[in-house]
Structure 1
Amino acid sequence: MTGYARSNGAVHGASFACEVKTVNGRGLDIRLRLAPGFDTLESDIRQLIGTTLTRGSVTLNLTVERQGAGGELYINRQALDTVLAALDELKGRVEAAPPSLDGILALRGVLEQRDSVLDEDGEALRAAILDAVSTALIDLTVARRQEGSRMSVVLLDRLLEIEALVARAEAHPARSREVILALLRQQVADLATDIKLSEDRLAQEALLLATKADIREELDRLTAHIAAARELIATGGAAGRRLDFLAQEFNREANTLCSKSNAVELTAIGLDLKAAIDQLREQVQNIE
């Protein structure tokens, strides 16, 4: 599900802003972009997000501006070693003037600036930032619930469509033993005029075909799944994964219905059912 929230704050001469946004995702994917010097907050922020959300691709940006607090420059020696190794490798292969020191230091990642965190105010700033993250997540949850309410209308429409198709399959005349018996008689007549089968034998064969083509069990399970899906939607909460599982079961029953079908019209209903189920599942995978 999609959503956006922002929270600001200021503590002891430092101001900060926390932005969090989510887009659709089947699992929970968390990406953090924290201000330099605040990497130690990553574990706590991930824990806050994990206890609030269960699905979606989450991006959280934390920016911090400090007034009157100095910072320090430091050399990222791992990045510097990588650059120097690359220069040594290219030295004998490319004719070029040797790079200057300021050119090397200007390469991204070699020389970095790290904000210093004041020991006296560090814990207060840390607590304020985590509070801001919690506030932003609450606002994000409200936005996602509002979207979920709108999505529930779409899901219920899809369930109505599936229910109507199940009712059409239920009422289709090709399911009756009498229709199957008439079709069997016609097939025998078309094969050869000299083949004579007793009415009892035809009735036995028709019963066997009707048993193989019986979709009563599939229709009952589809009806039960529709009721379960409606109950989950009405209950609310994080129902996305359970609805996704139900959508898979919907699809399983629709596949079996198509494989058992003994009429073109019934197969067409099954295919329409599969299309409606695919639309349902596509929407379900986007909700919490």
Structure 2
Amino acid sequence: MPISGMTGFGRAEGALGAWSWAVEARSVNGRNMDVRFRGPPGFDGLERAAREGAQSRFQRGQVTVGVQAKRSEGAGSVRVNVAQLERFLEIGNPFVTAGRVAPPRLDGLLALRGVIEADDAGLDPEAQAELEAAMAASIGVALDGLLAARRQEGAALLPVLSGQVDRIGELSAQAHAIAADQPAAIKARFEARLKELAAEAATEERIVQEAAAMAVKADVREEIDRLNGHVDAARTLLASDAAVGRRLDFLTQEFMREANTLCSKSQLGALTTVGLDLKATIEQFREQVQNVE
């Protein structure tokens, strides 16, 4: 399985008896796994289905699952709340008697809040379980759609990430070639510095200190070797079947650490330029890695 992204959308619809519903599952980037659920009242078991379904499919990202359900009109009976109707009549009677308002019409009375009540008696346990199972199945379908969308995003990311890793490898090779000229440049600079120090009647101890400081900056082979090792590790991760986003994120930090050290040790303008290009490419790589599960 190729790498997967963390952004996507999935939708499913279903119906059973008098009920119909729609499920939407969407996700965005996240450092950890975070599942959020919104569903109709009275179907508490659906949240567990959504959480378990998301956790079985994804390892990172903020996943939101929403279920909207409705029962067809006429599926439930209605009744008149006579007590509420009588209260409205009692309240309005003095105004009717005084001639201040016309006698109320039945349709107007029935439209008052609380007069007509839907009989929302719950389903029997067996019917409730059957309905929840059907809705949970639709949640699974929507999550499968989300999974497909995230994999599609990963497929689009893969060539971009691979190209950036290849570019880091190319820049590391350039740095290796340029660094071969550093010893000569260091030697020339050191000789000039010696003449400067000699003019100041420098002590032997001070000359040794100057030589040691320059020697530390002269060798960047270790940084380049580590960069090459990180390039190989990144290529291995990009070819992996596992969720590699966290490890790629860590590897990006290691890339940047070596690039920063290379720049700080550089004694040549050309090598510094390559180091800055490395840092820019690594930063682009880091931004894309944030989208990888």
Same fold (TM over 0.5): yes
What is the distance in 1 between the residues matched to 2:198 and 2:209?
Answer: 20
Residue 152, structure 1, aligned to residue 158, structure 2? yes
Q: CA deviation at 1:176?
A: 3.7
- Offset from partner CA, 1:147-181 (integer Å, 9 cap, x none): 10110111011112211221121111465433311
Residue 170, structure 1, aligned to residue 176, structure 2? yes
Residue 135, structure 1, aligned to residue 141, structure 2? yes
Partner of 1:248: 253
Residue 36, structure 1, aligned to residue 4, structure 2? no
- Would the alpha carbon gap of residues 173 and 54 (structure 1) be closer, same or farther in structure 2, given more than 3 Å must change? closer
Q: Which amino acid aligns with 2:127?
A: D
Q: Which amino acid aligns with 1:44?
A: A
What is the distance in 1 between the residues matched to 2:180 and 2:238?
Answer: 34
TM alignment of 1:28-67, pairs within 5 A: 28-67=33-72
Taking every aligned residue pair, what percent have the same amino acid on both sides?
A: 45
What is the distance in 2 between the residues matched to 1:222 and 1:162?
Answer: 8
Q: Does the CA-based 8 Å contact 1:35-1:64 persist in structure 2?
A: yes
- Would the alpha carbon gap of residues 173 and 238 (structure 1) be closer, same or farther in structure 2, given more than 3 Å must change? closer
Normalising by structure 1, what TM-score? 0.75
Q: CA deviation at 1:268?
A: 2.9
Q: CA deviation at 1:49?
A: 0.7
The structure with the larger Rg is 2
Structure 1 runs not aligned, ≥5 long:
72-104, 107-112
- Would the alpha carbon gap of residues 196 and 37 (structure 1) be closer, same or farther in structure 2, given more than 3 Å must change? closer
Q: Which amino acid aligns with 1:135?
A: V
- Would the alpha carbon gap of residues 194 and 54 (structure 1) be closer, same or farther in structure 2, given more than 3 Å must change? closer
| Residue-pair matches, total | 248
Structure 1's consecutive aligned runs of 4 or more residues displaced over 4 angstroms after TM superposition are 190-198, 201-208
Partner of 2:239: 234
Partner of 2:288: 283
Partner of 1:120: 126
TM alignment of 1:76-95, pairs within 5 A: none
Q: CA deviation at 1:196?
A: 9.2
Q: Which amino acid aligns with 2:25?
A: V
RMSD between superposed Cα atoms in Å: 3.1
Does the residue aligned with 1:36 lie in a helix, a strand or coil? Answer: coil
Does the residue aligned with 2:40 lie in a helix, a strand or coil? Answer: coil
Partner of 1:102: none
Does the residue aligned with 1:35 lie in a helix, a strand or coil? Answer: coil
- Offset from partner CA, 1:173-207 (integer Å, 9 cap, x none): 46543331122112223455576999xx9899757
Does the residue aligned with 1:58 lie in a helix, a strand or coil? Answer: strand
Q: Does the CA-based 8 Å contact 1:170-1:219 persist in structure 2?
A: yes
Q: Does the CA-based 8 Å contact 1:177-1:206 persist in structure 2?
A: no
What is the distance in 1 between the residues matched to 2:127 and 2:176?
Answer: 71
Partner of 2:9: 4
Q: 275-284 or 235-244, which moves further after superposition? A: 235-244
- Would the alpha carbon gap of residues 128 and 189 (structure 1) be closer, same or farther in structure 2, given more than 3 Å must change? same
Tell me which of the two structures has the higher relative contact order, counting C-alpha pairs closer than 8 angstroms and 6 or more residues apart: 2
Q: Does the CA-based 8 Å contact 1:184-1:202 persist in structure 2?
A: no
